[in-house]
């Protein structure tokens, strides 16, 4: 038992035959780095008697960590859920996830550290390449070493290149830089629209580059930046009155 003076009725026990004789027992299922108390016992018609109490500590071990599942996989991001099953009987120095475009990623590859203290944790991967296969593992470190969880793999989604009519005044030119993150074509020009779509079809490299760069528009026009611009405009308007 982890508590002193263990008993046959209350705590874990082994049964090693009957009668008067020397015997030995093997204790299994113990936790690493843990103090245990043990006593021999014998039972007859009068009751149960116990030997002297002894104590021992199991050796520390590597942590046990699981890579549970992938969620919310997009063209450039994903999240992974992990679980710390055992500390190995030692303090956890660091834990998180590692990932790479090759299998069996390690601490030498990309990693993200989790600062939480709960047994389960989730982390997000951002800035990933589109249409790319990645491998990810949970990890945990204690004084014995580094342990890794199961390897999971996922493939980021593809981005779709944009072809838009160039209306002036209008919003398309604010979002699209021609041949950088999309293609702009004149208004009411079906041939130009067809030619632009054919250009992407004939030039997959350009289509991929424009698709990848299109995600940067989200950063330029994020909710926080829009709010900041409105706040700046309102403050300027009030100040002018």
Rounded mean pLDDT of the chain? 92
Which pLDDT score is estimated for 241?
Answer: 76
End-to-end CA distance of the chain: 79
What band does 170 get if pLDDT is binned at 50, 70 and 90? low
Written as six digits, the tokens of 212 are 């990848």
> How far is C-alpha 32 from the chain's CA centre?
26
Which pLDDT score is estimated for 74?
Answer: 87
Contact indicator for 109, 65 with CB cutoff of 8 Å: no
Pairwise CA distance, residues 241 & 233, whole Å: 13
218, pLDDT greater than 90: no
Which pLDDT score is estimated for 60?
Answer: 96
Which pLDDT score is estimated for 84?
Answer: 97
Which pLDDT score is estimated for 172?
Answer: 85
What band does 217 get if pLDDT is binned at 50, 70 and 90? confident
208, pLDDT greater than 90: no
Selected residue with higher pLDDT from 240 and 78:
78
Q: Residues with Cβ < 8 Å from 96, sequence gap 6 or more?
A: 111, 112, 113, 114, 123, 138, 139
Burial of residue 134 (CB within 10 Å: 0-12, 13-18, 19+) is buried
């Amino acid at each position: 038992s982890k508590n002193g003076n263990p008993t046959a009725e209350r705590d874990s026990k082994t049964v090693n035959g009957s009668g008067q004789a020397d015997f030995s027992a093997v204790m299994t299922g113990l936790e690493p780095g843990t103090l245990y108390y043990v006593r021999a016992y014998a039972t007859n018609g009068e009751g149960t008697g116990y030997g002297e109490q002894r104590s021992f500590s199991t050796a520390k071990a590597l942590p046990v960590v699981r890579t549970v599942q992938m969620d919310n996989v997009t063209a450039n991001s994903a999240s992974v859920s992990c679980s710390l099953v055992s500390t190995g009987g030692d303090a956890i120095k660091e834990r998180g996830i590692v990932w790479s475009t090759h299998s069996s990623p390690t601490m030498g590859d990309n990693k993200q550290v989790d600062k939480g203290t709960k047994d389960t944790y989730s982390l997000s991967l951002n800035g990933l390449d589109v249409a790319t296969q990645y491998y990810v593992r949970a990890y945990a470190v204690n004084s014995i070493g580094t342990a890794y969880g199961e390897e999971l793999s996922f493939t980021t989604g593809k981005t779709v290149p944009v072809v838009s009519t160039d209306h002036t005044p209008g919003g398309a030119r604010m979002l699209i830089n021609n041949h950088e993150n999309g293609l702009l074509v004149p208004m009411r020009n079906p041939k130009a629209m067809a030619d632009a779509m054919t250009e992407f079809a004939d030039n997959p490299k350009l289509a991929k580059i424009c698709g990848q760069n299109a995600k940067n528009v989200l950063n330029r026009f994020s909710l926080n930046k829009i709010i900041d611009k409105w706040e700046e405009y309102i403050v300027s308007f009030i100040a002018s009155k």
